[in-house]
Amino acid sequence: QAGVPFPMNGMSWTTYRNRPEAFLEEVVQVTTARQKANERLLDTTDWQVACMVYVATDRVQHCLSNYLYTHL
C-alpha cells in the first residue's frame, strides 16, 4: 500500500469542458498525488523494477484540443 492517497480517476475532459483553468488545477492535484504515492512506494518497498505512467498528457490534449488546434 502506498501510504498516501492515490487518486484512481480524475482529469475528465468532459467534466471540465470549456473550463480549462479548473481542469488544469485538477491535473496538477492528481498528478502530484500520484507522484507522491509512487515516491512513497519506491522509498518503502523492496522493488527491482518500477514504472510510473503519466496519463495527464493524454487527458490535457483531449480537453484542450479546441485551444491547441484553432486552425482546424
Rounded Cα distance between 26 and 14, Å, is 13
CA–CA distance, 65 with 72 (Å, rounded to integer) = 10
Provide the pLDDT confidence category of residue 50 given band limits of 50, 70 and 90. very high
Range of the domain at 56: 1-72
Do the beta carbons of residue 68 and residue 61 sit within 8 Å?
yes
> What is the residue type of 58?
D
Work out the pLDDT band at 51, boundaries 50, 70, 90.
very high
Distance of CA 20 to the CA centre of its chain: 15
What is residue 12's predicted lDDT score, i.e. its pLDDT?
Answer: 72
For the chain, what is the domain count? 1
0.85 exceeded by pTM: no
Per-residue confidence at 6, pLDDT binned at 50, 70, 90?
Answer: low
Confidence of residue 43 (pLDDT cuts 50, 70, 90): very high
